[in-house]
Structure 1
Amino acid sequence: MFQPSKGGLWINEPSVTIRHFKSALKALNIRERRQYDTRHTYATMCLMPGMNPAFIANQLGHSVEMLLSTYAKWISSSSDWRELEKLPPRVELVQNWPKYDERA
């Protein structure tokens, strides 16, 4: 969450990181939450606009399957219909396709 300066040691004292995190939330006028909750927010915010699930999974240290089974169930919006727009508008007929009785 709070990366040390180059060559510095990670702060592994929960009371210190929690205090800084709470101060950051207050300064940004964000209601109090656990640091862990920000993972869910990040994953959901990345999934909603359609970011690459492989990238998001890598960011969170998950497999794509784990990411989708955990977070995708929370994604349901009108943007889901955009997936259908990726289909071609119509399927072209194949020229000279044999009739059913000629394929046998």
Structure 2
Amino acid sequence: MSSRGGYPERSYVFSPSKGGMWIQEPSVTIRHLKPVLQALGIRERRQYDTRHTYATMCLMSGMNPAFIASQLGHSVDMLLSTYAKWISSTSDWRELDKLAVRV
């Protein structure tokens, strides 16, 4: 089955190679990520930046910071010190005050 643009549909955006579970080769960025970004008209960025995008989108959608931190392998303190600028409403800050009591 093909998706939009004639590319085959897969479970992964970039399938693991060499039978591994994770994509660890730097060549993934050169061979796969850069051409995809270019085809989509998205400016070039590092593969690592997708972590920041994920964290930011999760925070902006109001997800639980403890859950996001565990997804990224961070402590809640690390997550909040890195991404606090993406928590913008006053209700978001009231929610974060609750974390300080429990930590």
The normalised TM-score by structure 1 is 0.62
Question: 1:65 is matched with which residue: 68, 74, 77?
Answer: 77
| C-alpha displacement of 1:85 | 9.2
1:8 corresponds to 2:19: yes
Change (3 A) 1:61 1:30: same
Residue 17 of structure 1 aligns to a residue in which SS?
Answer: helix
**Which structure: greater helix fraction?**
2
| C-alpha displacement of 1:2 | 3.3
| C-alpha displacement of 1:61 | 0.9
Q: Which runs of 5+ in 1 are unaligned?
A: 87-104
Cα separation, 2, equivalents of 1:75 and 1:23: 29
Residue in 2 that maps onto 1:32 = 44
| Identity value in percent | 67
Aligned AA for 1:59?
Q
Q: How does 1:1-104 map to 2 (within 5 A)?
A: 2-4=14-16, 8-9=19-20, 10-14=22-26, 16-19=27-30, 20-72=32-84, 74-77=85-88, 80-83=89-92
Aligned AA for 2:29?
I
Higher RCO (C-alpha 8 Å, min separation 6): 1
Change (3 A) 1:3 1:66: farther
Cα separation, 2, equivalents of 1:68 and 1:31: 27
Aligned CA-pair RMSD: 2.8
Change (3 A) 1:12 1:84: closer
| C-alpha displacement of 1:82 | 3.7
Aligned AA for 1:64?
V
Answer with 1 or 2: which has the greater Rg.
Answer: 1
Cα separation, 1, equivalents of 2:50 and 2:93: 31
| C-alpha displacement of 1:40 | 1.3
Q: How many pairs does the alignment contain?
A: 81
